[in-house]
Chains A and B, each alone.
Chain A
């Protein structure tokens, strides 16, 4: 929109009231762009402004925000990303999920900086967007379809094979608390149960087609910058392995580190890992390399099973996390079955991480004889039982029998089961712990407890010390932090690493670039690069210090949101297993983790109250968040 002060933005948002059946275009607030950039920042601010503690996440009053970043859809490498933000029905606090693919760029091409959805439709609908036009359409005929069926039906209906969609499956419709959203094609905005938020609103899908341009303030400068980023990405020393293997390429390495959660985190390594790691996956099912919009890395791959009981199963985006959660996590070495379960989760609209971790939780309860046949409706939950796994995933998605309990996630399920089940519930703040183990990588243990959406590796994403990136550590932070900063079992400097990662990550998720691309996994693109790109694209004056302040503002506001919902330092804890049971595995053998010293250092670096772990009035004023002082009754 030519009238908006900054380029790179469409200058307008789409506001949808499902109760009233209205769609409305509103101008983008200039101050919102200046202080929060886009994507994650937009969603955080809107949630803070409009969704208070009394709002049930599965009610009409919860907000659901789809927001590409300001760089999404441009020549910036890996600029495919789309943020989805709502209060999470799984955790009851701040929730977000992020997806690559092509939908984010398509929204920008259609001329929208964000979609804000609230209310409850009286019957199933989907939101159809064609450039500047948007309307709600009946989706009664789509309700009950799997995600792939619904996506295909919408394409046929729109007579446009290039339409991009965000779709929920049966799991979202049945309000499974870790239902995800499938994004064209076969990417997922999976975590925090945001698919259930869509389902609770009777919103089956969003379908977008756009043809417009994204205007650039300083075109020659932006082209020079982004071309340089592409060159640097390809020259990066970590690029060849990431590009060749994608995230499955780390499987054997994480196993060797003892950082591959196995048997519900009883272990950090899987003796059968060679049967499910990248070489096995590539030999068995690799078809070809793929990439999301604008990506020079291309970690995405197309896989298909040529024969066997699941012959014809085709899927892309087989991730390390899924190999871990549905492989070692449940003691399952059957690669074909993992791929079948992965495809099933995609079709049903389930987060593979939370689904796999919930199954491993249930299997350990069975092993410990906390659950019996009466509890499970006659199902024996033996480790690695593939048939039971596939059956339970369907029962979860449709909330049938014992699946109804597991659809609640490990925290709620443990509370319902009782009998000591809580000890085996591997979560932080209600979000199931993904494929890391703080006993093997100290910074990840800290990252799991400080993440604003509950146990998560991607908020801070401390890759620097995962295996040791000394060159990258030196380049980003300086020689004075080595060697400890790059060593996975050291605690020194890790609070600084996590804090910086959370703030840089908040910016990365607000500008719409990929963490598996240049910013974290390759550790190539950093603060000055993003600042230069935003400035050239938008024309906004963006010195590095201003960008850092934006990142810190967003992360502090997420903490304020969680504080508003009663979260304190007492919630920043790992399950007891990690502190009490020494890891038996790999490089982490004999290790436990005590996050407290790192956490104390982290609060001090953040200038947060060490008692409650809340931002202080001084910090909030410094960040332009003075409104939080009154709301949190800090003075």
Chain B
């Protein structure tokens, strides 16, 4: 098992109900699988903002196989250890001690 820290920002913080948490994951889990794990912990409201159905154009990182082919939302902004994770590079494998910062997309200033 590995441990990662997840920090929730803007509306994700309200939806998750926590500011940050440390969670244990099996080794070898990809980032989309880690987010799937997070969604399982916090319920369908968070899943709906972390993932998008495949008919919405979004990143190509599939999760949960054919039964639940939802994909990580393209409107989710993800930082891994302080670095922005490009939308086409989200299949990265998580490592022990990783920190994820999650934002619902917003821009403006």
Contacts and interface: CB of A to CB of B under 8 A. Distances in A.
Q: Are the chains A and B members of one assembly?
A: yes
Interface of A: 237-238, 240-242, 244-245, 247, 249-250, 252-254, 256-257, 278-279, 319-321, 324, 434-436, 457, 463, 466-471, 474, 483, 486-488, 516, 520-521, 586-587, 589
Contacts of A240: 11, 104
B105 interface: yes
14 contacts: A240-B104, A241-B106, A250-B108, A250-B109, A253-B10, A256-B79, A463-B108, A466-B107, A470-B59, A470-B74, A486-B87, A516-B108, A587-B82, A587-B83
Contact of B106 (A249, A520, A587): A249
Given A238-B105, A587-B82, A278 B10 contact: yes
A365 B88 CA distance: 43
A257 B108 contact: no
Contacts of A245: 10-11, 106
A586 B87 CA distance: 18
B13 interface: yes
Contacts of A252: 9-10, 103
Contacts of B73: 237
Contact of B84 (A247, A278, A467, A474): A467
A245 B108 CA distance: 11
B11 A483 contact: no
Contacts of B65: none
B29 interface: no
Interface residues of B, number: 27
A240 B48 CA distance: 13
The interface residues of chain B, by DSSP majority, are classed as: loop
Contacts of B37: none
A241 B10 contact: yes
B10 A469 contact: no
Given A241-B11, A253-B77, A470-B87, A436 B82 contact: no
Contact of B105 (A436, A469, A487): A469
Contacts of A254: 109
B68 interface: no
Contacts of B108: 242, 247, 249-250, 320, 463, 466, 516, 520-521
A634 to B, nearest CB: 37
B10 A244 contact: yes
Contacts of B11: 240-241, 244-245
B106 A242 contact: yes
A589 B84 contact: no
A467 B101 contact: no
A516 B106 CA distance: 11
A300 B78 CA distance: 27
| Cβ-closest 3 pairs across A and B | A320-B109, A241-B106, A466-B107
B9 to A, nearest CB: 5
Among A240, A321, A434, find the residue whose CB has the most chain B CB atoms closer than 10 A. A240
A483 B75 contact: no
B75 A238 contact: yes
A587 B101 CA distance: 12
B106 A483 contact: no
Nearest to A466: B107
A598 to B, nearest CB: 20
Contact of A483 (B87, B103, B107): B87
Nearest to A279: B13
A249 B10 contact: yes
Nearest to A489: B84
Contacts of A238: 75, 105-107
B58 interface: yes
A463 B73 CA distance: 18
A550 B72 CA distance: 40
A267 to B, nearest CB: 14
A487 B86 CA distance: 7
Given A241-B11, A242-B108, A469-B105, A586 B82 contact: yes
B105 A241 contact: yes
Given A256-B101, A483-B88, A471 B57 contact: yes
A488 B87 contact: no
Nearest to B101: A256
Contacts of A247: 108-109
Nearest to B19: A279
A467 B57 contact: no
Contacts of A434: 109
Contacts of B77: 253, 467-468
Given A252-B9, A252-B103, 14 more contacts: A240-B11, A250-B109, A252-B10, A253-B9, A257-B84, A278-B10, A279-B13, A319-B109, A320-B109, A466-B108, A467-B105, A471-B58, A483-B87, A520-B108
Among A242, A319, A516, find the residue whose CB has the most chain B CB atoms closer than 10 A. A242
A213 B107 CA distance: 35
B86 A521 contact: no
Contacts of A249: 10, 106, 108
Contacts of B13: 279
